[in-house]
Structure 1
């Protein structure tokens, strides 16, 4: 049956790719030669192409009005880098089978590509009952004993239950409400179902933004998004990959079932390779298109190289950010096998509440104040710049303020004087500023560091990894190790020189290969080489937001009691005369056992102070937090940091 190229793509099930198309008719100029993204291709009538994949290239938007006919609304293009955040409006039309869902919704290896649905009436799966409204997460699709099944997960009574459902599973499945905010690019890549409208609500209709991207006058925030796809295809007996926009004015016919596909290049992306079953590995492949800006691009992954893809798996990485006062900061994914060594660096804490979160049972947290604080009552201590404290524990204390007794959350500390300690109480709501004092001069390997100290944690590379030719971490002034994540990887090696193998990321490597053989005799005992991967700001924020979606945002710091009137700081910074801490402090060392923090501390410590995103804030404030670093530290704080860090 003949259809337009746009209609064909909208009705196409991605899992049936590749498909062979024959050009039926269209509008052509000068022999039907088109220049498309640097590739020339002929689309004359009768021409045959093979479609390997497609992705959204641009977004056409129109104003959406509920309970109105929106067919005639004028469309306007939104660039994928359009600033601001969008909330996804839940699709109210049900899917009637699991197969319907998998045809319309992308299910991939990353957290962002694990869609969630609920069943209208509930499902009985024998040993597991799924009740109405319970959120079903779809993690992957796999061939199990000749039947395509969806690997799912549901949380019941705070326990995760994994199960499978066949594509033929019937019922009314509804999309779950999505509480996250997304950029337009994230929505385009992950959140637009095929053959369905995606309605979103723009959360920042500001005059400043409207002056850059003019929006219609009657725009109230709701938009209907229509994707324009870029189709990746190959021509007969050619190795070049061509890219065609889906709104090209041509008609096509699907002739896959009656055409020999062997005359076409068999092109697969890293995502395609990861979707293959584990028993299909290892396999040999030729690199057709290599990745851009990757250390392996000029070596094992350059076009024309023959590689062996040994297996797919999940691997751990440490997400880290460069410590610097200016921006932009660089972000890294560090393999746990990194062989360099680190020294600890001081952490900064903007409030007393952050001290409570960061304290450890294994080591006293020793800090110095860089901002003065005037206590509103006698029970709470005032703070001067340069005061040193040992953090003990938090508690609730009764204080007298203006003749009224109130219970206030406080942090019990020991103030370090020249010859003794003085017990003091600091209010948790205190907006002070503290820098950690480091007495530990040891050098740590990454695995030992992560085992002994809770993340986030500040370090500096003291000995670079000698197995890496260009260790990009060695040149950084300091690193904040933020959290351990799990990501999808492929293990590859050079078929001609199989002396070592490499881990390559699935979701961040733009590469296309042609399969050569599915039977390869290889030895899997090669040493595995890992690289420190530098990631973009956009990739960094996506990982921070979606790696642990089950975690709630960290609790807000306690608010100052309403009865306390803030007085202006009358304390003048004294001349710094830093006394040596008591001898016992210098001998403090961290035990080898891993510190298991409290649930509250675990959640809060997942996000560093410099880039926490409180999802309970208004969306516009979230956007500011996502894109703006902390204010530059003052000269006084830098002076204290240099004074207190012991190399």
Structure 2
């Protein structure tokens, strides 16, 4: 059967990214004359009949259509690094089979790559039954004995159940509602459905040091329809340059992959491609085909070197840290090998529950109250501004509330009265404030802090790292070391091994051509390999926090503030919003009930129970408008964890 030529744009939208690379033959269309031409800042040259090997397809920007009622819709262009957060509008169109879902959405081990669906009817499977309307998460795509299927995960009460569904399974499947916030980069990477446009609503702008080329109107609250603009990364026969071609180029192409010899084309590898190689693939010498456009000063050799050596790939530990300041916070990824010294800085605790979480067996926690609190229990102590406490442990205590005796949880402390100490119990539901009194004047290395103390932890650089030309951390007024993460890195060096650094995989865009295996000394993590402090943007910071928080177990049941009334439930009307949201018939939004607010010792990060789910909230990205009213005590069960 004779194959038909198609437009480059049609090929781009129809090809499965997993089938790349593909070889295309140029057929007909409009061509620039001469040996070279420029397309949107990308250079390249080819003629009719020329073969091009497509090695990658990426989204360069998004065309955003603003849907406004009663007015003409307008479109704006947004770059993928636009500093904003968006919420997905659920797609109401059904999928007719599991195969269609797999062909349309991205499924990966990461939490963002595991979409949720439901079926209006029961699904009878060999491992059991998925009930009608019960949501299931697609966690993996596997092929065994030539038969492809997906692994589905269903959470029921306190346990998770795994089901296997064949791709041939048919029915009606609908996308579940998604209450998370996403950056445009995350939407493009994980949430864009092939063959379908993605509709979102604007949530909030993130602070950014760089001015955006185009921005959404500040007062816009309607829906936005995202249309990706693609770009193809190609190589020509025997060429050594990667040619970038916009998918909108007015040419027709013919897929001749089966008839072409792929060996005559260059095989460029991205850092992600290299990281995915097995361990026996390393070390190797490579030619730099496409140097990174932006790279931190310490890794400048990647731009100037023609050839490099890639020694190994691994997950390296980093400490995620934020500058302690009210505005324009800087974010950092700090290697554990950082050679500077730190001194402790006081921590702040908004509740007594945070004191219980922060106490340590290594030392006595000494705090000063910064807000007053009057207790409603007889037997528990009130708190005045300036009161000083030595925190011991949480314990249960029998108290009198009204005319009834009841058992509550309280925090046992020693209150400093003059030169004496008085044993007191303060309520766990105390909504006040405390600041730590630091008696420790020692200087610590980062590795010592991670070993001796629990994160988050407040510090200040007391002696900069003398092994680097400019220490990014030295100028910070204070740092909060938030949590330890792991991130993919490659060990890359110059040919003479004079420069050898850990290079981040996800934040370095460059292409390499494998030349030959390297038979010199094999380097691994150690003294010869250097690590740099990275200053990261807001979008990268919140993406890293999202992946970390997704693996954290829910905290213990939070304390409950005592009620002033004896009735079982007291309901208060919510405050009237200043600017009510316009009605949206497409999306049903439930009433919000804040069950608990738990601080995790991060100045900006809190966790909240809502509709039997645990949410992680960062106050620097999500503003909660109005007041939060205590309505009723929830029924606690196994909570699924979601980030917003």
**Mapped pair 1:295 → 2:297:** yes
Q: How does 1:308-457 map to 2 (within 5 A)?
A: 308-324=309-325, 326-375=326-375, 379-397=379-397, 399-400=399-400, 409-457=409-457
Within 2, Cα distance between the matches of 1:435 and 1:105? 47
Contact conserved, 1:111 with 1:546, CA < 8 A, in 2?
yes
Match of 1:593 in 2: none
Distance in 1, Cα, partners of 2:65 & 2:522: 53
Does residue 18 (structure 1) correspond to residue 21 (structure 2)? The answer is: yes
- 1:121: Cα distance to partner? 4.9
Whether 1:41 aligns to 2:49 is no
**TM superposition shift of 1:94:** 5.6
Measured after TM superposition, the shift of residue 497 of structure 1 is 0.8
Residue in structure 1 matched with residue 639 of structure 2 by the alignment: none
Cα 1:203–1:49, aligned 2, differ >3 Å: closer, same or farther? same
Per-residue deviation at 1:543? Answer: 0.9
After TM superposition, give the deviation of residue 156 of structure 1 in Å. 8.9
Whether the 8 Å CA contact 1:483–1:606 is kept in 2: the answer is: no
Q: Determine if contact 2:348/2:436 at 8 Å carries over to the other structure.
A: yes
- 8 A Cα contact 1:351 1:434, kept in partner: yes
- Tell me which of 3, 6, 23 is aligned to 2:9: 6
Q: 1:562 to 1:625 in 2, by over 3 A?
A: same
Q: Check 1:607–1:237 CA distance in 2 against 1; reply closer, same or farther (3 A cut).
A: farther
SS at match of 2:333: strand
Report the CA distance between 1:235 and its aligned residue.
Answer: 4.4
Cα distance in 1 for residues equivalent to 2:317 and 2:462: 23
What is the deviation of 1:23?
A: 2.6
Alignment partners' CA distance in 2, 1:271 and 1:20: 22
Query: Structure 1 residues 394 and 151, CA, compared in 2 at 3 Å: closer, same or farther?
Result: same
Cα distance between partner residues in 1 of 2:98 and 2:154: 23
How has the CA–CA distance of structure 1 residues 337 and 130 changed in structure 2, closer, same or farther, with 3 Å as cutoff? farther
The residue aligned with 1:87 is 88
Count of residues in Structure 1 that have an aligned counterpart in Structure 2: 562
**Superposition deviation, residue 251 in structure 1:** 1.9
Matches within 5 A, 1:469-618: 469-494=469-494, 496-498=495-497, 501-517=500-516, 519-525=517-523, 527-551=528-552, 558=559, 560-563=561-564, 608-612=602-606, 614=608, 616=610
Where 1:339 maps in the other structure, the secondary structure is coil
**What is the distance in 1 between the residues matched to 2:346 and 2:261?**
65
- 1:436 shift after superposition: 0.8
Alpha-carbon offset, residue 359 of structure 1 = 1.8
Question: How far is the alpha carbon of 1:389 from its aligned partner?
Answer: 0.3
CA distance in 1, matches of 2:339, 2:129: 49
TM-score scaled by length of structure 1: 0.73
Partners of 1:327 and 1:629 within 8 A in 2: no
**Structural mapping, 1:277-296, within 5 Å:** 277-291=278-292, 292-296=294-298
Uncovered stretches (5+) of structure 1, i.e. residues with no partner? 66-72, 566-602, 631-647
How far has the Cα of 1:446 moved from its partner?
A: 2.4
User: CA-to-partner distance for each residue in 1:241-284, whole Å, 9 max, x for gaps?
Assistant: 34333233322222333344556443221112223333333332
In the TM superposition, residue 323 of structure 1 has moved relative to its aligned partner by 1.9
Partner SS for 1:228: strand
Give the Cα–Cα distance (whole angstroms) in 2 for the partners of residues 335 and 161 of structure 1: 38
Equivalent residue number for residue 231 of structure 1: 232
TM-score normalised by structure 2 residue count: 0.73
- Give the 3 Å change call, closer, same or farther, for CA 200–480 of structure 1 in structure 2: same
Structure 1 149/331 Cα, relative in aligned 2: closer, same or farther at 3 Å? farther
Name the SS of the counterpart of 1:487 in structure 2.
strand
User: CA shift at 1:483, angstroms?
Assistant: 1.1
Are the counterparts in 2 of residues 373 and 384 from structure 1 also a CA contact under 8 Å? Answer: yes
Q: Is contact 1:197-1:226 (8 Å) kept?
A: yes
| Larger helix share, 1 or 2 | 1
Deviations 1:179-226 (A, max 9, x none): 533233321122213334545466689xxx9844757xxx5x4x6543
Supply the distance in 1 between the matched residues of 2:332 and 2:611 (Cα, whole angstroms): 28
**What are the Cα deviations for residues 361-406 of structure 1, in whole angstroms up to 9, with x where unaligned?**
4432110122333445654433333221011223454555666666
1:191 is aligned to 191
Higher strand fraction: Structure 1 or Structure 2? 2
Structure 2 CA distance, aligned partners of 1:272 and 1:149? 24
Q: Judge conservation of contact 1:14–1:103 (CA < 8 Å) in 2.
A: no
| SS of aligned partner of 1:385 | coil
- Output one character per residue of 1:319-369: Cα deviation in whole Å (capped at 9) or x when no partner: 111222x32111111222333333322111122222122122443211012
Q: Give 1:296 deviation, angstroms.
A: 4.2
The Cα shift of 1:101 comes to: 6.7
Task: Say whether the 8 Å CA contact 2:115–2:137 is kept in structure 1.
Answer: no
Shift of 1:421: 0.7
Equivalent residue, structure 2, for 1:600: none
Q: In structure 2, how many angstroms separate the alpha carbons of the residues matched to 1:161 and 1:502?
A: 43
> Alpha-carbon deviations, 1:482-507, whole Å to 9, x = none?
1111222222222x213564222211
